């Protein structure tokens, strides 16, 4: 289940808090350039499907991912700095590593690099691509930037068809070698849930080199390459990402392209290509955000796109209300699936670091696939989830 913390400032600003959460701007402990911090998100949720069945459960990371991080920076003079980051995603429900981590302690990021003021930064290691940087951290995504959070990500129970696998053996193999989570029926893996199929919520790239320029007149660009690590087969399991972004005052925009090869797709020589284009702005207490996102199997041609939009309003420094809507459409290899999804979120900031929220997400498909929210697959084409939760940054 994946996966707004707002301070008492002039206005409750979701993207700013998300940036603080992920950058460690307010550490619990800092010494010799080392920062220890994190972000915690937990609540109680109830899921309901079209048959009236209900599921009550603790919900991890409904709005933002719960994580613990260690980060450091050394000032070497002249604007040159050495930097590193070690991030772990955690489950507050169990105290264990988040299932997305697949047992890796620093799966969420583990990199070291250099940055030069006026030029940009260079990083090597395991790290998120630019979709995460600009759409989740930057708040462009209407889900994490306005309403619904990670429960409102673009998603669907069509992961096996998007990845191009079928049958129990192929699907089971794709759980370990692919990007999507398993769907189980009577204890057996029967499909894949394509939650976060446009990568906004974070899909790490291993063995990666990432270069990002500083901003010039509000513009910044970056490129990234992930080495597959297969001797004699350079393309096997490799990935690449590129982005261009713009920022001016409260306005942000970005275009991101990412392509990652996966072992289940053409023996690791093909994979999923994602394209995102979006923008957000804020004026007089209103936040407006919109994006277009797309996922395409580079081998089979299976493809889906989404259009998302959201509007939020700060009623006071402490209260924010936001709503968002998403339309998804797949091609014939995804059974021409159509998904309509809506979210509503009310957030109250108790302090600069702590907030409570009420959130609801509703999804309806055209029946091509069962509805799916937060890796929970419904018995039918309709599903909803409502949650009361709390977020804290430390």
Measure the CA–CA gap between 231 and 105, rounded to whole angstroms. 26
Q: Quick one: how many helices (H) and strands (E) in the chain? A: 5, 22
CA of residue 214 relative to chain centroid, distance = 23
pLDDT for residue 359: 98
Closest by alpha carbon to 164, among 241, 293, 269, 240?
Answer: 269
Write the burial class of residue 99 (CB in 10 Å: 0-12 exposed, 13-18 middle, 19+ buried): middle
pLDDT for residue 18: 52
Closest by alpha carbon to 183, among 203, 198, 168?
Answer: 168
Mean pLDDT by 10 residues, the chain (394 residues): 34 45 42 84 96 93 94 94 95 86 84 97 96 94 97 97 94 90 83 94 92 97 93 91 97 98 96 98 97 98 98 97 98 98 98 97 98 93 98 96
CA of residue 282 relative to chain centroid, distance = 22
pLDDT for residue 190: 87
β-bridge partners, 177: none
pTM score above 0.85: yes
CB count, 10 Å around CB of 32?
Answer: 7
């Amino acid at each position: 289940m994946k996966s707004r913390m707002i301070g008492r400032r002039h206005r409750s600003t979701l993207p700013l808090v998300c940036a603080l959460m992920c950058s460690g701007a307010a550490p619990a402990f800092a010494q010799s350039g080392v920062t220890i911090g994190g972000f915690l998100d937990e609540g109680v949720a109830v899921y309901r499907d079209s048959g009236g069945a209900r599921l009550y459960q603790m919900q991890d990371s409904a709005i933002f991912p719960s994580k613990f991080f260690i980060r450091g920076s050394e000032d070497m003079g002249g604007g040159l700095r050495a930097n590193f980051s070690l991030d772990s995603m955690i489950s507050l429900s169990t105290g264990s590593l988040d299932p997305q981590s697949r047992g890796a302690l620093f799966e969420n990021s583990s990199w070291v690099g250099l940055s030069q003021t006026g030029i940009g930064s260079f990083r090597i290691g395991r790290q998120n691509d630019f979709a995460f940087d600009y759409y989740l951290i930057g708040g462009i995504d209407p889900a994490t930037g306005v309403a619904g959070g990670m429960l409102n990500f673009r998603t669907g129970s069509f992961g096996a068809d998007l990845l191009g696998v079928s049958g129990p053996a192929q699907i089971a193999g794709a759980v370990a070698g692919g990007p999507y989570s398993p769907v189980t029926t009577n204890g057996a893996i029967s499909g894949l849930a394509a939650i976060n199929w446009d990568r906004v919520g974070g899909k790490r790239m291993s063995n990666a080199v990432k270069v990002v320029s500083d901003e010039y007149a509000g513009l910044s660009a970056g490129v990234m390459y992930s080495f597959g690590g297969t001797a004699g087969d350079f393309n096997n399991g490799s990935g690449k990402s590129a982005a261009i972004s713009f920022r001016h005052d409260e306005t942000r925009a970005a275009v991101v392209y990412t392509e990652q090869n996966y072992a289940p797709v053409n023996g690791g020589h093909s994979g999923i290509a994602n394209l995102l284009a979006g923008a957000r702005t804020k004026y007089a207490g209103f936040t407006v955000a919109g994006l277009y996102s797309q996922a395409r199997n580079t081998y089979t041609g299976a493809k889906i796109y989404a259009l998302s939009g959201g509007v939020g309003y700060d009623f006071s420094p402490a209260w924010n209300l936001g709503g968002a809507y998403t339309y998804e459409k797949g091609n014939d290899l995804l059974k021409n699936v159509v998904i309509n999804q809506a979210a509503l979120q009310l957030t109250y900031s108790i302090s600069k670091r702590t907030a409570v929220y009420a959130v609801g997400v509703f999804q309806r498909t055209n029946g091509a696939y069962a509805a799916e929210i937060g890796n929970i697959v419904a018995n039918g084409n309709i599903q909803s989830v409502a949650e009361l939760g709390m977020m804290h940054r430390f």
